[in-house]
Structure formats: structure tokens, C-alpha cells
Amino acid sequence: MNQPASANGLAQTLTPSFTLLGAGVSAGIAIGYAHLVSTARLEVPQYEIAANEVDAEVVRFDNAMAQTQQALADLAASATQGVAGELGAFVSLHRMLLADSTLSQTPRDIIREHRANAEWALVQQMDRLVEQFEQFEDAYLRERKHDVEQAVERVLKALLGTAHTPSGPSHEEDVIVVAHDLSPADMILFKQHKFAGFVTDVGGVTSHTAIVARSLSLPAIVGLHHARELIRENELVIVDGAEGTLIVNPDAQVLTEYQLKKRSYELDRQKLKRLKTTPAATLDGTPIELHANIELPSDIETVVEAGATGIGLFRSEFLFLNREDLPTEDEQFEAYRQVLEAMNGMPVTIRTLDLGADKVLPGGERTAGPNPALGLRAIRFCLAEPGVFLTQLRAMLRASRYGKLRILIPMLAHAHEIDGALGLLEHAKRSLQGEGTAFDTDVPVGGMIEVPAAALSLPMFLHRLQFLSIGTNDLIQYTLAIDRADETVAHLYDPLHPAVLQLVAQTIRACDKAGKPVAVCGEMAGEVEMTRLLLGFGLRQFSMHASQLLEVKQQVLRSDLGEVTPLATRILRNTESSKVHTLLERLNT
Ligand code: PEP
Ligand code: MG
């Protein structure tokens, strides 16, 4: 057994040290105390409340209940028509269930009786109720157990924000979030916090959860399998986000070693900041556009700090998550305008809704389907819900007066999808013109190349659209038939697979020939090992999270197109993985 260490003088119990391996999704070292979080009901933490804190725990439970009831009441008030109208019935049912003493009173008794934390008490009671519902003969009543679960989850989410950590760190900066799974919607909520790092049991490196973690510039690891089960609340942990290593209860020597590594990593990051205003160009003088990916308007601050020359991908669907209703046209307009104004005349590429797969609206049965990644996702959803799509297009067009807007359509595969989307855009334009609302009539419209069928039928895209953007995250997922969010097949997610490289390279080449701008906006664009390869394929426009931009810029500044292009061509001709890796290493030295 090792001598336990402590990060900032807090005493630790004598516990053995162990290491877990996963997939690092965001580089850097974080050292802090584990905080076990959960949004899934079965994983709520269980801990004992000190006798003198029981009253406060009951108050915490009451407050979460009241907060949830209030949120539901607000929602009921806004739920009047369409999607929101259907939601109204569920909202009323959830309010009724939560008001019943079986959920509002019994958990309070459990807290007192067992000195249990509020989450655990609530889940105990929910399990009992669910069991009772399961006994009903009537199928309709039996199904209502899901409403009990959903209503309770709402309260659990409210409790999550006020989690009780009896002897834990007093600063968020010392907290490492440990979860079995986090949805992209959960992850986006963490943007409001200042945690030191994140680790999860499941998830792939290009899942949207991992992408948002990376955008936070925080060390993060996914696919650790059993971290949530093995780690206890407040244990000291080290996250090495580059290596994907999680060390639990490190001994003093290991801790010192990682503290040094952390400092050296932070110094390197600090030095990179000097490149902020340096124009991105290769050694031979070819200018390269380095744009940023964002999820929310609040991300703009980091984009400006990194010196990005535009927004290459605004994942607008994140405006739709973590809420029960849909954002109105005015709300969306304000969000888009904010970004366009902040970018001060630089291009802002807003992607139309890419809902579905791992990004679902509450009550999102519509996009669930038997295989959500192959179902009603992105443009398919928008064309099936023209009202929702038109609202977004109108909001975008209205905002176009405030900067240099470009509209990007995701997951296209068919000509009729492009035509359908362009038709609805025309419709939105006509409706605004009819009202006398001004907008930029020449907003460029582009398409994402992220389905192999699209990459193999480029003329169809080039005839209809003004620019293309390659979404390598999905292009890899759909080319190799592996779910990007599934850690059990994460080892098969290979950006260097010859099929993937062929599709990327030929898309860049075709755009170049046709004189149409093309970017890569998938994670590949932010991976410094891929920068020279993409430059060698002819790519001149990259879009990535702001946290990756300066490192990529440094690599661009060190690259000579005369040298990288022939090697990239050799890599493209090669189909043997080992050879491709050797050549890539040579390209990067
Ligand atoms: C992609 O698929 O590469 C992409 C940029 O879109 P998203 O990651 O949001 O699916
Ligand atoms: Mg995509």
C-alpha cells in the first residue's frame, strides 16, 4: 500500500493507489478530488449525512422539489401549441406526481430515518413506486412508471447543482467530475462551472460529449469502463488527458511528478498565446484560414482570445438543449446576432439544426428510432419539421444584417434534400420580404460532407451549393460503420483508414477544381498530427475548437507545402496501416 498524498493539504484516508486506462479526449493534467455525478437514476451517490446536517439535507430536498415544480409551472405556462402543446400534458402529469406525498414527503422521512443524502432517498422511493406501477394490469397505467422516472430525474438534476460534498474541496477548481455517462446536454451545463477535469466510463473520443469537454480546455478521459464504480467521493485523482490515464490515490512521488508535468504543460500553453496575432501561413507563404467551432454564443470569448479569423461551425442545436420548449425566432435571432456582431465582419458559419443521435430534445421520441444515428437526424429532422426549420432560417436571415453569415446544412446525402432545404430558405426569404424585414439576400449556403454517399457524389453538391465543409467525425462513423459514441468500438474509429483519407482528399481536390471553398470542421482539423497531412491534401481552411487553434497554427507556421505535399500523396496511395503510420511520423518530424 502506498503512502497517500494530498493535493492541497486535505487529509486522505489510507487507500491503495490504482490506475485506469481510457481514451484521452482533451490534453493536459488535472489533479483534484473526485466528485461522483449522475444524471442516470441508478447512479446517484449514496453517502451518510452527519446528524447535525440532516435538517439542512431535508431543506436541500425541499428546495430541489420547489425549483422543479417552478420550472414545470413556467413550462406549462409557455406550452400552448404544437410540440409544446403535446408536452403540456406530460408537464401536468409530472407536476401532479411530484406533488403527491409519496414523492414529496416519503423521501424526507427516508433522509431522516437513514441519515441518507437526498438523491439516494428519492431514488429509493422512486424504485418502490416503479415496482408498484409495474404490477398494474392495465398497460397504460403500467407505462406511467416512465413518467415517475422522468419526474424524479428532473428533481435529481436540480439536486445535481447543489450536491452535498461533506468533506470535499471547497473550490470547483479542485474537483474532477466522475460520471458513468454524460450527455452532450449535461456537458454543456458544465460550461457554467470551473471544474478541473472530467472522466466518464462510456463514450468515444468524437462523441459530442467529448467534443464539448475538449472545448472547455479541460483534461478529460472517456471510456474508462468502471471509474464510476471504483472511485469514491473525494478520493484524490490525477487525470492525464493526453495519455488517457487516471491515477487514483497517487503516492507522494507520483503526485510530485504529475505536478511538474502539469506546470510544464501550462507553460507551453502560455507560450502559444504569443501566436495569437501572427497570421497563419505556411513557410512558403501560403495563407491558411483557421476558424473556430462553437456551441453557444458564450464561447465567443475564447474564440477571440485564440485569434480565430472566423467561425467555421456554430453547432446551433446546442441552443435547443437543456430546455423543454423550443427557442423562439427572436431568441435564436438574438443568439445569432450576438455571434455575428462579436466576430466583427469575419465569416460566421451557422449550421442548421443537427438534432438527433446523441443530441435529443426532451421528449425526443421523434428522433429516437431503432438506430438514432441512422434515423431522423439533422436535415432529415428539419425537412420532417418544416415549421421548426423555417423558424431557424428566418432567425438566421434576420441576423445576416449584422455580419458575414454563411449557412451550413448538415448530413446531406440526397439531391432532393439539398433542393428541399434551399426551397425552404427561399420560402423564409419571401416571408421576410413580404413583411419588409431586411436581410442579406446573398447569404452563401454550404453543405456538410459527412456521409460517404455525399463524398462520392460531389458534383451534385458542387452544382447546388456555394461551399462545403467536411465533417470528419461523422464521415468516419458512417464510412467505418462504428458508432462514434460507443467506447466498445472506439478502437475501430480510425481517421487514418485509407477509405477515410480517400474521401477527405478527393472532396478537397474536387472543390479546388470547381473553385469552391472547402473546410474541414470535424475533430481531425484540430489534431496537430493531422495538420500537415491535410495541408498536403490541399486543405486551406480548418475549423476547430478555440482551445486547439494555436497549436495547429504553430504547426502550420512550421510546415512547407513543397515538402508536405509529396509525402501526403504517398500516404494517400498507401493502404497498409503500418506504412501509413510510419509515413505520417516522417511527415510530422
Ligand atoms: C462532424 O461530423 O465532423 C461535425 C463537425 O459535426 P458534429 O461533430 O457536430 O456531428
Ligand atoms: Mg457531424
pLDDT in tens, 545-554: 999 999 999 9
Higher pLDDT, 10 or 326: 326
pLDDT digits 0-9 by tens, 62-120: 999 999 899 888 777 765 443 344 456 667 888 899 999 999 999 999 999 999 999 98
**Distance (Å, whole) CA 318 – CA 186:** 11
What's the CA-to-centroid distance between 504 and ligand 1, angstroms? 14
Is the model's pLDDT at 503 over the cut of 70? Answer: yes
Instruction: Evaluate: CB of 315 within 6 angstroms of ligand 1.
Output: yes
Instruction: Kindly give the distance from the C-alpha atom of residue 531 to the centroid of ligand 2, in angstroms, as a whole number.
Output: 20
Q: Residue 511: pLDDT above 50?
A: yes
pLDDT over 70 (residue 43) = no
Asked if 446 contacts 409 with a C-beta cutoff of 8 angstroms, the reply is yes
441 in Cβ contact with 381 (< 8 Å): no
β-pair type (467-470, 236-240): unpaired
pLDDT of residue 417: 98
Cβ neighbours of 570 (radius 10 Å): 15
* Any ligand 1 atom below 6 A from CB of 420: no
- Report pLDDT for 236: 95
On whether the CB atoms of residues 2 and 14 are closer than 8 A, the answer is no
pLDDT of residue 63: 94
Q: Around 375, how many Cα atoms within 13 Å sit in the side-chain half-sphere? A: 17
Q: How much is the pLDDT for 430?
A: 98
Q: Give the Cα separation of 185 and 208 in Å (integer).
A: 9
φ/ψ of 484, rounded to 5, equals -65, -15
Which atom of ligand 1 is found nearest the CA of 208? 8
Q: Separation of 450 CA from ligand 2 center, angstroms?
A: 6
The reply to whether ligand 1 has any atom less than 6 angstroms from the CB of 209 is no
For residue range 395-427, what is the model confidence (pLDDT) as tens digits? 999 999 999 999 999 999 999 999 999 999 999
Q: Residue 159 in contact with residue 175, Cβ under 8 Å? A: no
Q: How do residues 183-233 score in pLDDT, each as one tens digit? A: 777 777 777 777 899 999 988 888 888 888 888 888 999 999 889 888 988
Per-residue confidence (pLDDT) for residue 170, from 0 to 100: 55
Give tens-digit pLDDT for 45-57. 778 899 999 999 9
| 289 C-beta closer than 6 A to ligand 1 | no
Among 230-234, 276-280, 532-536, name the one with the lowest average pLDDT: 230-234
Region of residue 345 (phi > 0: left; psi between -120 and 50: alpha; otherwise: beta): left
Q: Whose CA is nearest to atom 8 of ligand 1?
A: 473
Going by their DSSP bridges, the two strands 197-200 and 175-179 should be labelled as parallel
The protein residue whose alpha carbon is closest to atom 4 in ligand 1 is 471
Q: Cβ(521) to ligand 1 under 6 A? A: yes
Beta-sheet pairing, 404-409 with 347-351: parallel
**Is ligand 1 within 6 A of the CB of residue 547?**
no
For the chain, the average pLDDT equals 89
Distance CA 75, CA 84 (A): 9
Give the ligand with the smallest distance to the CA of 469: 1
Q: What atom of ligand 1 comes closest to residue 315's alpha carbon?
A: 9
**Which residues are known catalytic residues?**
208, 521
Give distance in angstroms: CA of 523 to centre of ligand 2. Answer: 10
Grid cell for residue 82: 404544437
Q: Is 295 in the pocket of ligand 1 (CB under 6 A)?
A: no
Cα distance between residue 366 and residue 375, in whole Å: 9
The reported pLDDT for the residue numbered 82 is: 39
**Res 139 pLDDT > 80:** no
Give the percent of the chain with pLDDT over 90.
68
pLDDT recorded at residue 34:
92
* 568 touches 532 (CB < 8 A): yes
Strand pairing of 29-36 and 236-240? Answer: antiparallel
CA of 175 to the centre of ligand 1 (A): 29
